[in-house]
Amino acid sequence: MTVASIDAGRVMRVAALRPVGDRTVELILAGSGLPRWAPGAHVDLVLPSGQVRPYSLAGDPDDARSWRLLIAYSGGGASAQIHHALRVGDEVRVRGPRNLFPLGMAPRYLFLASGAGIAPLLPMARRVRAARIHPWSMIHIDADGGTGALAAEVGSLGPDCRSSSDPATARDALALAPSRTAVYACGSGRFVDAIADAAPTGVEVHRQRFDAPPTEPGAAHPFELELARRGETVRVEAGTSVLTALHRAGVPVPVACGTGICGACVVGVVGGEVQHRDAVLRAADRAASRLIVTCVSTAAGDRLSLDL
Ligand code: FES
């Protein structure tokens, strides 16, 4: 199987690594001539083990010399490597940034986060504050109960910004949100789904989850994959992902997380319907069926035509 990378990325040095909240560390990566990014952007961190994980950028979008990430400890995998094995001075490869969680214009904002999900919301809040858009507020749910460095940072953003260990605080703030409030929610899948389910009428929820959604293993049924520009057809067997079928056919589609959360493997769709299983596409993109996250999503019918 051929696996092509998204881009070569850049090598960055670990400049700082320190605890900032409940099971969360702040990772500062140093480089030079770093591209600017917009709030909501993320980078893909390529760990020394070869594992690739997307992390939201939490610092200053105009900082051309360092990028700041917040990493929650999840008990193993990439987070364990970062918490326990990474050291100041180590080099890591970083790809991106890319933005799948952009901040849109709205008359008022409510930022809701759980744990390290606060990462993309910090630069969003600073952007809204700088633009003097009012009202806006932020609730950060963190098990440390508002005692860590992250909680202090949240509290310093404005009078309506606070951390709490009680998830009901976020639900209460949401219940009071007036119509046309743009809610940006980031955290575990359970957290952001609960926010979306509880949103009052007229409140638009934009969500990003930092854990992978449960996915089914590959296609539920075999189907034909048409590569429109190549003029080729690839058969996808039941239990095989679109991405795997493409790689087996020698089509170099980028891949990073492999779990539908980073967007690296997104491909254009020119015909057929997609059964979406990812956690990155926006509702409008899903409804239009013009994009597919090839590592997890599949065809709804017996044929799918891709812009490849
Ligand atoms: S590789 Fe990350 S979404 Fe497919």
308 residues of the chain, pLDDT tens digit each: 333 333 568 999 999 999 998 789 999 999 999 999 999 999 888 887 767 788 999 999 999 999 999 999 887 778 898 999 999 999 998 988 988 889 999 999 999 999 999 999 999 999 999 998 879 999 999 887 667 899 999 999 999 999 999 989 999 999 999 999 999 999 998 999 999 999 999 999 999 887 665 555 677 899 999 999 999 999 999 989 999 999 999 999 888 778 787 778 999 999 999 999 887 787 778 888 899 999 999 999 999 999 99
CA-proximal residue: ligand 1, atom 3 (nearest): 260
DSSP-derived pairing of the beta strands 161-164 and 136-141 = parallel
The ligand 1 atom at the shortest distance from the C-alpha of residue 263 is 3
pLDDT computed for residue 8 by the predictor: 64
Count of Cβ atoms closer than 10 Å to residue 152 Cβ: 13
pLDDT computed for residue 212 by the predictor: 61
> Full-prediction pTM beyond 0.85?
no
Centroid of ligand 1 to alpha carbon of 231 (angstroms):
25
Edge-to-edge strand order for the sheet containing 204-209? 161-164, 136-141, 108-114, 181-187, 204-209
φ/ψ of residue 96, rounded to 5? 110, -160
Contact 269, 290 (CB under 8 A): yes
pLDDT computed for residue 211 by the predictor: 67
CA angle, corner 208, sides to 238 and 292, nearest 5? 35
Centroid of ligand 1 to alpha carbon of 279 (angstroms):
9
Contact 70, 26 (CB under 8 A): yes
**SS3 call for 186:** strand
Report the sign of the C-alpha dihedral through residues 298, 192, 36, 77, in that order. negative
146 dihedral zone (left: phi>0; alpha: psi -120 to 50; beta): left
Please state, in angstroms and rounded to a whole number, the distance separating the CA atoms of residues 181 and 197.
15
Centroid of ligand 1 to alpha carbon of 259 (angstroms):
6
Pocket of ligand 1 (CB under 6 A): 255-258, 260-265, 278, 280, 293, 295
φ/ψ of residue 155, rounded to 5? -60, -30
The ligand 1 atom at the shortest distance from the C-alpha of residue 278 is 3
Please state, in angstroms and rounded to a whole number, the distance separating the CA atoms of residues 52 and 13.
16
Centroid of ligand 1 to alpha carbon of 186 (angstroms):
18
**SS3 call for 246:** helix
Please state, in angstroms and rounded to a whole number, the distance separating the CA atoms of residues 48 and 53.
12
Look at residues 103, 3, 91 and name the one whose alpha carbon lies nearest to residue 56: 103
Centroid of ligand 1 to alpha carbon of 175 (angstroms):
33
pLDDT computed for residue 77 by the predictor: 79
**Ligand 1 probe mutation, 295, 297, 298, most atoms within 8 A of CB:** 295
Residue 214 is given by DSSP the state P
The ligand 1 atom at the shortest distance from the C-alpha of residue 257 is 2
